[in-house]
Chain A
Amino acid sequence: MKSEPELRAAVKASREEGFRQIFQQYSGYVYAIVWNRISGVGTREDAEECVSDIFSDIFLQFDRIEEGKLQSYIRTVTKRTAIDKFRSLSASPDTVSIEEQEMQEVLSELDVEQEHDAADLRKVLLDKINALGEPDASIVMMKYFYELKSDQIAKTVHMSPAAVRMRLSRAMKRLKNLLNDEK
């Protein structure tokens, strides 16, 4: 992980190489935020389009970003652009995404207390997913957060799709046991 002065020096030496380093450092963060916002209404291609828009804006405005503010600028632009993308993708007011409905069914009618409970549950869930270790934790997140199919996951982790499915099935059983132990 490079510091901001290092990134700025890299951009000064070569814009393309410097921007590549910025991209490599922050693309994961940006993609995760964008995907979380638009996964209910958009595709992976929409998410990649949004990510490329965000970074092209960052590169364009780079010289105007104050020293020490690069990370917070990236965070702000990411969230703002992701929300705009979500609004443009769900532009029709007459339809409701079924995924939103599922989410509502899962979380039922939310109030502040229930939101707090859901946030606590997520914290526990992520702790247990972390406890699975690699590559199981990554496989579980790619499946259930990033919503990749087995063959797409297989390419990333260099396994066969069948091996990914087997691994996922075992990881889910372990996760279930870990969650039961937590109770």
Chain B
Amino acid sequence: MKQCITMGLLKQVDSVTEERIADEFPPPWDMEVLYQKSFQKYLQKAEETPVCISRHRRMPYQIIGTAACLLLIVGLGVGIWSRQSKIDVKPPEPSTVPVATDANTESRETETALQETQAVSTIVSISTTVQDMSEPLPAVLPTESDIAESVSAAPETVPEVTQTEPALETDAPVVVPTEPVTPESSAAPTEAPTEEQPVISEEQINGFRVERYSNYRKIVCTDAFPTPDGTLRSYSMDDDSLELVGTAEVPAAEPVRTYEIRDPETGKTFTVTQREYAEFALNVEEGELIDIGLGRVHGFFLLQGENCTLYWFCEGEGFCVSGDTADLGSFMTIVRSFTPAEN
């Protein structure tokens, strides 16, 4: 992976390198359209900005305005004082509200504490890899200085899964198993718990809604999916570090396609599964880590023990790829390089 590591040095470089790239390798494409946009913005701002304020006319208006404010304040004060002096003081009535029992108080306190804990972070970042970025202008990583620390949920021991699929039906309301599905590409979806559980909290992040229930979370893609038409677009890889070695149509009720992608340096193979969706939702157990901050990619990343699964969506089609957490870099390369095949 020497090549990848080397070229990775060009991502978010330090300020000295930044200056050098800006001087020696400025973007070579035409920016006339961008200039027109900038100039129009300038004209707009210039119209909105007052050119000058006549100082000669300011004084009388200032005096009148100040006097009016003072009159208003005085008038309000007088009004409030006169009302207060007329109010009759009534003796306090005995309270008729039942005193809270210990059980009620305890349950309310528990619920409040739970909500407060959840309000801190409903999404658990990948805690093992987040560093505390406290430098205002770090030389290498210009990240935010106050990235919140992840909630400490220790991942529960879950069965290791090498390839998980979001089991769902395109027409019916989406139900997904809370247990990891065995690695069969055409596995029938198993139903989630049928009893309705109340949503404890919801959070909207980057096109996804994360609903928190008592013992699991649900990620819902809030995109408006086009009506499924039974066809899948073909994709290819636009990156030389990974090779698309094969595609296959999986026999299933709805169209499913897999793409085999190989890293020639390590020999590892990854399988990307493509499906059409009318809607998408996935149940995630408490303790499993989710990250819905994939930058430009409309997707999310799920960590289950040493395994990770990356889901992303494009125009009503969803993709997922699974593997070791160490292959995350390859997954992101796949996501960025996956492009509709030229006809």
Contact = CB atoms under 8 A, between A and B. Distances in A.
A122 B17 contact: yes
Interface SS of chain B: helix, strand, loop or mixed? loop
Given A55-B38, A90-B144, A105-B129, A31 B9 contact: no
B44 to A, nearest CB: 8
Interface in B22-55: 22-29, 31, 34-35, 37-39, 41-42, 45-46, 49
Contact of A125 (B9, B35, B144): B9
Contacts of B329: 102, 105-106
A32 B148 contact: no
A69 to B, nearest CB: 18
A87 B133 CA distance: 13
A23 B21 CA distance: 18
B293 A121 contact: no
A72 interface: no
Contact of A37 (B142, B203, B238, B336): B142
Interface in B128-155: 129-131, 137, 139-144, 146-148
A163 interface: no
Q: Most chain-B Cβ atoms within 10 A of its Cβ — which of A19, A99, A103?
A: A99
B332 A98 contact: yes
Interface in B218-241: 238, 240
Q: Most chain-A Cβ atoms within 10 A of its Cβ — which of B5, B20, B35, B129?
A: B35
Interface string B274-299: 00000000000000000111111100
Q: Most chain-B Cβ atoms within 10 A of its Cβ — which of A43, A86, A130, A146?
A: A146
A104 B144 CA distance: 14
A12 interface: no
A105 B206 CA distance: 24
A93 B41 contact: no
Contacts of A95: 123, 125, 205-206, 291-293
A117 B112 CA distance: 49
B157 interface: no
Nearest to B294: A98
Contacts of A31: 26-27, 31
Given A28-B22, A101-B328, A56 B38 contact: yes
B122 interface: yes
Nearest to B326: A105
B205 A119 contact: no
A64 B174 CA distance: 60
A168 B3 CA distance: 13
Contacts of B21: 32, 36, 126, 141, 145
B46 A94 contact: no
A29 to B, nearest CB: 4
A49 to B, nearest CB: 9
Contacts of B336: 147
Nearest to A54: B38
Contact of A36 (B18, B29, B121, B294): B18
Contacts of B7: 144
A165 interface: yes
Nearest to A32: B22
B10 interface: yes
B101 interface: no
A81 interface: no
Given A33-B22, A86-B142, A118 B14 contact: yes
A95 B301 CA distance: 11
Nearest to A31: B27
Contact of B23 (A29, A39, A96): A29
Contact of B131 (A20, A109, A157, A179): A109
Interface string A129-148: 11000000110011011110
A168 B241 CA distance: 11
B205 A32 contact: no
Contact of A16 (B11, B39, B240): B39
Given A119-B17, A145-B21, A149-B238, A51 B123 contact: no
Contacts of B24: 126, 130
Contact of A53 (B41, B148, B293): B41
Interface of B: 2-3, 5-14, 16-18, 20-29, 31, 34-35, 37-39, 41-42, 45-46, 49, 121-123, 125-126, 129-131, 137, 139-144, 146-148, 203, 205-206, 238, 240, 291-297, 301, 328-329, 332, 336, 339, 342
Given A119-B16, A119-B139, A138-B25, 9 more contacts: A31-B26, A87-B144, A92-B205, A95-B205, A98-B297, A118-B14, A122-B13, A137-B25, A169-B240
Which 9 A-B pairs have CB atoms at the shortest separation, nearest pair first?
A: A28-B26, A95-B293, A56-B41, A32-B22, A55-B38, A93-B148, A59-B42, A106-B8, A56-B42
